[in-house]
Structure 1
Amino acid sequence: MKSLLILLLSSALACAESKPNILFIFADDWGWGDLSCHGHPYVKTPNIDRLAAEGTDFHRFTVASGVCSPSRTAVMTGHFPARYAIDGHFAWVPSNEKRGMPDWLSPKAPLLPRLLQQSGYATAHFGKWHLANDMIPDSPLPSEYGYDEYGAFNCAGEQMPWLDDAQRTISFIEKSQSENKPFFVNLWIHEPHTPFHVLPKYRWRFPDLEEKDNIYAATLSHADERIGEVLDALDRLKLTDNTLVIFSSDNGPARARENAELNLSYDTATGAGYGNAASRGITGGRKGFKAALFEGGIGVPFIARWPGKIAAGKVDADSLISAVDLLPTFCEVAGAELPDDYTPDGVNQLTVLTGKPEAIRQKPLFWRMNGSGDPNKPDSYHWVSFAIVDQHWKLLSNQDGSHQELYDLAADPFEKNDLAKEQAEVLAGLNKKLAAWKETLPKEADSSCFSSERSR
């Protein structure tokens, strides 16, 4: 019996050591330019900068939407969110119904945490959820999506205080280590989404900034410090070398108008704080902001660290990586098999992360949102309803296709030179692919994901 116990323990230890841990840090509205390592004029992010110095900074990562819920759906499923009729953020039931959306992401969908859980990983989610809404009390809890443990807000049930995310993450990592299990943790932080919950300690770090800038810098400083606490815990537990850490954001930043009045606002999930006037995000020159399908709305930070596997201090300005790639990539890292009946929209990008890209990405990327606005106005970025990126070409289209723009992202990453008239053949080819993709999408939302409140 003693020999058998020793054998089982040795087997468990070998399993834990052979499978790398995965920590996925997903911010909320964190702009590409909102990092000191990306040249922000006053925001200080030393802990995220440390990730960049010890890992690779990928400059061409895009998420699958300009807003929260569909972007997170893509991470969870490896599918474009339009496949689930999730084109906007989950709100209260009448709003979801009006927009032809379900009221939550189906727990029966192919799910990243469940695949890793089935492969022997301890799985957890701490922070923002928003794959349902706290205003939909009969929506499934995060525990129904393949997590062994969770603490969340913007979900049904008890709302975890937003600032508890890091300590809950550290406790789970310690528990996983004590149980000799590899871990997968989603650390989905609140910042810098409104309301801005600012503690005085962090405001005092930026005494010379105007109030709105001070609030924004303090908010990001607090988030960066909590990320640092988790990184320090990995060091203390000697898990750094065997842990893949990713930092990214669900969409581009919000940016208030200069004359917006600063006041308090209240969120049912996270409480009171400063309102949208303190939204000071920047995109590093990319066009548009949050809720847009221009690069400012979907081009976000993506920093990957895995000592000995991913190059340190490197910038990759060429490789096109998407949020739909995370599921197949993380499964490859974990040795988790994809189901036979599952076809991801993304591709396994492990060779790209480790600096050995095999070829230019051949699989197109698609977006769908409910666009509105006038494309003829120079500051209107939200008119786009569909987009496709195929290698270096990007097509943007309004709902009926009456206005379209075409950009060569390799030569023009800031989308300044519309080539729709000069490149008619390229435009036609992209429209053909876009039309074929639309035919694969469901005509309506899955009724099994409707709240009982719809019957009222």
Structure 2
Amino acid sequence: MKPKYGKFFIISLFLTLYGCGNGPENNSEKPNILFILIDDMGYGDLPTYGNTEVDAPNINRLASEGLSFSQFYVNSPICSPSRVACITGQYPSRWGITSYVHDRRANKERGMKNSLDIKAPTIAREMKKAGYYTAHIGKWHMGGGRDIADVPLITEYGFDESVTQFEGLGERYLAKFETLDLGDDPERPDLEKQSAALGRGKVHWIKRENFTKIFVDRAIEAIKNARKENKPFYINVWPDDIHTPLEPPGDLRGDSSRHARFLGVMHEMDRQLGRLFDYIREDPELSENTLIVLTSDNGPDAGVNKAGNLKGHKTQIYEGGVREPFITWHPGVIPEEKQGTVDTQTVFSAIDLLPSFSAIAGVANDRDLQVDGLDVSSAITGKTSLKRQKALFWLRPPDRPGLFGNNDPDLAIRKGDYKLLMDVD
């Protein structure tokens, strides 16, 4: 007996085979996401956040065409745990990273892991579920470097390609210093040499002043690679500017004082990021379908840059250590009346990025994925301001009780309009 197939069944089968895959028609509708995480930039370091000394016309333009936020928080006032929160959607203490990842001895003494657990959720893995091309360009600092080579490569966390600097494994760029003043970071040349000796990736030696330029070049290459594969992209661009040592190009060094060099590094970083913004802006397809997010990993280095009118700086859980500039740009999505404005109502943090980016990318809801953050995609795309109901928590890096001050509080919680700081005992 011949099977009888109804018209509805045939149509359904056709749609299943040809209409529901990861074909170019579906992928072309998914927005590209470019996530820029600047190193050690304070709340008061950008003109759009009140700085009158810094020359950053390209980031200024991004803000004027996009949407800025005044109440965005990172989840730690120091690099490694802050970055863990950014990519996992979880508090970094869940993964045993509570301060910056150092060498084996120092990590063991502080009860810390040598790297982010390979089992941790990551934004990149979530993006790949939705058919994205993924890349990490720039500083990592979640494992690898110093005397640690037996940890996962960056690509093992869900990235199709990666390139980093001395605080990560895989292909990396290391700094040749002409140096003005290594008093800013005297151990840095030795750390570069240690990284080279570890192997596990091709090494390029370049001038310190050229790092952001190279990372922008590589980001543009990654965009081209994604387009060759006809996929939307999720790309981290994480410069290690404006972290010390401060070494801008010669024409931007001013009187070579620490402050002059900081201003020079900020301007050069802005100049290079401007090339990336223009590359996207000048391509009609990219400009209509790319979300750019720009923020920083923690507050300013004391004595180098500024947290504006906020108390505290890097390593401290006062506002100046954990509250950061946050700018989004997506002309085809952010309402025109919101462009160039500041959202002063939405309170959110780095742990919210994974669920928010996943929602924007149309990642299918995974009930087994446990994150601490919330989906705030409607706020970062300018649809609405959100009143946060869920509390935010902070832990001061336990090895930093008095790096830049004495008796800093150990713990903090923000709920609604109130923030409580306290000691463990």
The TM-score by the shorter chain falls in which range?
0.7 to 0.9
SS in 1 for 2:360: helix
2:153 to 134, 141, 150: 141
- The match for 1:219 is 265
Structure 1 partner of 2:252: 202
Which stretch shows the higher mean deviation, 115-124 or 359-368? 359-368
Deviation at 1:359?
Answer: 4.8
CA distance, structure 2, for counterparts of residue 247 and residue 381 of structure 1: 32
Q: Which moved more, 1:354-363 or 1:109-118?
A: 354-363
**1:286 maps onto 2:319 in alignment:** no
* Residues 327-342 of structure 1 aligned to structure 2 (within 5 Å): 327-342=354-369
Select which of 163, 187, 203 maps to 1:151: 163
Letter in 2 for 1:137: A
- Structure 1 segment 259-408 matched on structure 2, within 5 A: 280-310=304-334, 311-357=338-384, 359-371=386-398, 373=401, 380=405, 383-400=408-425
Select which of 223, 238, 260 maps to 1:173: 223
Q: Match for 1:55: what amino acid?
A: G
- What is the distance in 2 between the residues matched to 1:394 and 1:352? 22
Inter-partner Cα distance in structure 2 for 1:116 and 1:328: 11
In the TM superposition, what whole-angstrom CA distance separates every residue of 1:338-361 from its partner, at most 9, and x where no partner exists? 422222111000111233437521
Q: CA deviation at 1:41?
A: 2.7
What's 2:193 paired with? none
After TM superposition, the structure 1 stretch with the greater mean CA deviation from structure 2, 223-232 or 193-202, is: 193-202
What secondary structure is seen at the aligned counterpart in 1 of 2:37?
A: strand
- Alpha-carbon shift at residue 384 of structure 1 (Å): 1.8
Residue 250 of structure 1 corresponds to 297
Q: Greater CA deviation, 149-158 or 219-228?
A: 149-158
In 1, Cα distance between the equivalents of 2:228 and 2:406?
50
| Counterpart in the other structure of 2:98 | 87
Q: 1:89 to 1:157 in 2, by over 3 A?
A: same
Looking at structure 1, the residues matched to 22 and 100 of structure 2 have their Cα atoms a distance apart, in angstroms, of 44
Verify the 8 A CA contact 1:138 1:156 in the aligned structure 2. Answer: no
* Contact 1:127–1:160 under 8 Å retained in 2: no
Give distance in 1, aligned partners of 2:295 and 2:386: 24
The alpha-carbon distance between structure 1 residues 381 and 123, as it changes in their structure 2 partners (threshold 3 A), is: farther
Deviations 1:108-156 (A, max 9, x none): 1111101101210000000000011311111211011000000012113
C-alpha deviations, 1:86-119, integer Å up to 9, x for none?
1100000111111111100011111110110121
Partner of 1:24: 35
Q: Counterparts of 1:329 and 1:336 in 2: how far apart (Å)?
A: 10
- Is the contact made by 1:293 and 1:382 (CA closer than 8 Å) also made in structure 2? no
**1:61–1:359 Cα change, 3 Å:** closer
Can you give the 5+ residue segments of structure 1 that lack an aligned partner in the other structure? 1-6, 257-279, 401-456
> How far 1:227 moved relative to its partner?
0.9
Q: Does 1:54 align with 2:65?
A: yes
Q: Using the TM superposition, give the Cα deviation of residue 290 of structure 1 relative to its aligned residue in structure 2, in angstroms.
A: 0.4
Whether 1:71 and 2:121 are equivalent positions in the alignment is no
In structure 1, distance between residues paired with 2:313 and 2:407: 9
Q: Does 1:192 align with 2:225?
A: no
Q: Which residue of 2 aligns with 1:416?
A: none
Moved over 4 A (4+): 371-374
SS at match of 2:23: helix
Question: When the two structures are superposed, what TM-score results if normalisation uses the length of structure 1?
Answer: 0.76
Conserved 8 A contact 1:291-1:382: no
Superposition deviation, residue 302 in structure 1: 0.3
Q: Distance in 2 between matches of 1:355 and 1:222?
A: 29
Q: Aligned equivalents of 1:300 and 1:359: distance in 2?
A: 18
Query: SS at 1:287's partner residue?
Result: coil
2:112 matched residue in structure 1: 101
The CA RMSD over aligned residues, in Å, is 2.1
Q: Distance in 2 between matches of 1:227 and 1:295?
A: 27
Aligned length: 363
The question of whether the paired residues in 2 share the 8 Å contact of 1:134 and 1:157 is answered with: no
Shift of 1:373: 4.5
Distance 1:158 1:150, change over 3 A: closer
What CA distance in whole angstroms lies between the structure 1 residues aligned with 2:383 and 2:366?
Answer: 26
Q: Contact (CA 8 Å) 2:143, 2:168: kept in 1 or not?
A: yes
Instruction: Please state whether the residue corresponding to 1:218 is helix, strand or coil.
Output: helix
Shift of residue 83, structure 1, vs aligned partner: 1.0
- Are the equivalent residues in 1 in contact too, given 2:77–2:397 (CA < 8 A)? no
- For 1:355, the aligned partner's letter is G
* TM-score using structure 2 length: 0.81
Counterpart of 2:318, as a letter, is: F
From 118, 121, 127, the equivalent of 2:138 is 127
2:276 paired with 1:230: yes
Paired residue type of 2:413: I
Residue 156 of structure 1 aligns with an amino acid whose one-letter code is L
User: Any conservation in 2 of the 1:77–1:324 contact (CA below 8 Å)?
Assistant: yes
